[in-house]
Amino acid sequence: MEEMKILVGLSGGVDSAVAAYLLKQQGYDLSCAFMRNWDSAAEDDYNGNPTVADPICPQEQDFLDAKAVADKLGIELLRIDFVKEYWDDVFHTFLNEYKRGRTPNPDILCNQHIKFGSFWQFAKENGFDTLATGHYARMDQRNSRPVLCKADDRNKDQSYFLCQVQRPMLDHILFPLGSITKPEVRRIAAELNLDSVARKKDSTGICFIGERRFREFLSNYLPMQPGDIINVDNQSVVGRHKGVLYYTMGQRKGLDIGGTGPYYVCGKDVAANELYVCDEKHQHWLYSDACTVRSLNWLADCPETVSCMAKFRYRQPDLPVRLMKQEDGSIRCEYPETIRSVTPGQEAVFYLDDMVLGGGVIDQVFCHDADLMQSVRNKAHA
């Protein structure tokens, strides 16, 4: 077996715990590390509204669970603080994208800048040459080069969230869970008596921040500015929104529009502070047939023009698209059969079969009703 020194990201959840166990069983030289990336006390100071804390905050409980796993497996556990890096590289970007009226993906930002950025830098500086995590994804070889692929468990596949990992990193990553299923992971944890994590529910919410009442959380940093909700079909004002930044394409719940419905968010104008919606009978407003993608990260060689599959959000089925590279480094992504709720700020991730070609941020979305939407805005402002 090739000698390598591995640092495993141990989060306090069942996936990373079983990933560490599997690597140890294979005889690797490994240590584990727990990353602290969000300062709840600083959040309280920023908001000026400290709340009554639980006896142990969720992040500290995660550390204790990670320590219990490391102790049980007999593996060294390090504790690393990336609070400043997370704030500067992930959370500021997250807020700035929302200010522009876009919907960013914090999990992708976190993988890019923290788990496979700052964490990898720490690993190299401390003598490790490989990182391992509990992500459901696979590493493979194509034409003697490492490539990122979907996990065998398609229901849990997380390759979408890894699209901004830098290509040179692919030589230094292990994903031990790439070929097993989530039920198998839980079974292994139970058999090992990893009681702290075996039945622990999967983490949800914003990466490293956790579950929050999202609108209230965001309003601490981006104050609410109420405005009109406009039905694009007849230019009528049908309600009031609490802040146009807090809504995303295709959203139905939380609009608080009385009377007929349901309504769906189909656009917004940040400068005018207007939210555009359509009703059940006019959902064509939600569909587009092309978009521009920027901030591209290629994980495999891609020709100037290629037909492939794409996801425009996690859990979305793969959809056929055609990519055309542009002179400014962006790509034009076309899907003539139309796709619903493609959202600026979200990530478009491209696949050839099970291999990740790369991904980038959706910048502009185009549809046959673009001129009509502009006329609606002009009438609304008249």
Bridge partners (DSSP) of residue 30 are 6
Which residues sit opposite 359 in a β-bridge?
Answer: 297, 349
What is the three-class DSSP state of 198?
A: coil
Domains: count for the chain: 3
Looking at 214, 246, 276, the residue that finishes a domain is 214
Answer yes or no: do 44 and 192 share one domain.
yes
What domain range includes position 23? 5-214
> 3-state SS of 86-132?
HHHHHHHHHHHHHHCCCCCCHHHHHHHHHHHHHHHHHHHHCCCCEEE
Residue showing tokens 């698209």: 321
What confidence category does residue 54 fall into, taking pLDDT thresholds of 50, 70 and 90?
very low
Looking at residue 201, what is its pLDDT? Answer: 83
pLDDT for residue 119 is more than 90: yes
* Domain match, 190 and 297 both: no
CATH number at residue 29: 3.40.50.620
Answer yes or no: is 378 within a domain: no
Do 140 and 95 have their domain in common? yes
| Residue-wise pLDDT tens digits, 248-265 | 999 999 898 977 779 999
The confidence score (pLDDT) of residue 51 equals: 43
Residue where one domain finishes, among candidates 166, 185, 214: 214
- Residue 333 in any domain: the answer is yes
Please report, for residues 10, 56, 61, 158, the alpha-carbon distance to residue 34 in angstroms, rounded to integers and kept in the order given.
5, 17, 12, 20
Residue in 149, 207, 291, 367 annotated catalytic: 207
Same domain, 236 and 367: no
Residues above pLDDT 70, as percent of the chain: 88
Tell me: the pLDDT tens digits for 327-357? 999 999 999 999 999 999 999 999 999 999 9
Residue 42 within a domain: yes
Say yes or no: 94 and 226 in one domain.
no
pLDDT for residue 370 is more than 90: no
Residue 304 is assigned to a structural domain of this protein: yes
For residues 144 and 269, state if they share a domain. Answer: no
The candidate with the shortest Cα–Cα distance to 80, out of 116, 32, 47, is: 32
Same domain, 186 and 272: no
**Which distant-in-sequence residues (6+ apart) come within 8 Å of 255 by Cβ?**
229, 239, 241, 247, 263, 265, 277
**β-sheet bridge partners, residue 308:** 321
The domain that contains 265 carries what CATH number?
2.30.30.280
Domain end call among 284, 313, 330: 284
228 and 311 share one domain: no
Distance (Å, whole) CA 30 – CA 8: 7
In a domain, residue 133? The reply is yes
- Annotation says 110 is catalytic: yes
* pLDDT tens digits, one per residue of 139-171: 999 989 999 999 999 999 999 999 999 999 999
Look at 54 and 125; give whichever has higher pLDDT.
Answer: 125
* pLDDT greater than 70 at residue 43: no
**Secondary structure (3-state) at 183:** helix
Going by their DSSP bridges, the two strands 355-366 and 347-352 should be labelled as antiparallel
Q: Do residue 110 and residue 258 come from a single domain?
A: no
Same domain, 178 and 323: no
Q: How far is CA 112 from CA 8, 125, 148, 172, 201, in A?
A: 17, 18, 14, 14, 24
Q: Within this chain, do residues 55 and 173 fall inside the same structural domain, yes or no?
A: yes
Q: Tell me which of 32, 110, 266, 291 is the catalytic residue.
A: 110
Residues 292, 280 share a domain:
no
Determine phi and psi for 298, rounding to 5 degrees. Answer: -95, 125
Confidence (pTM): 0.90
**Residue 371 pLDDT greater than 70, yes or no:** no
Answer yes or no: is 377 within a domain: no
The CATH number of residue 307's host domain is 2.40.30.10
**Does 380 fall in a domain?**
no
Residue 204 placed within a domain: yes
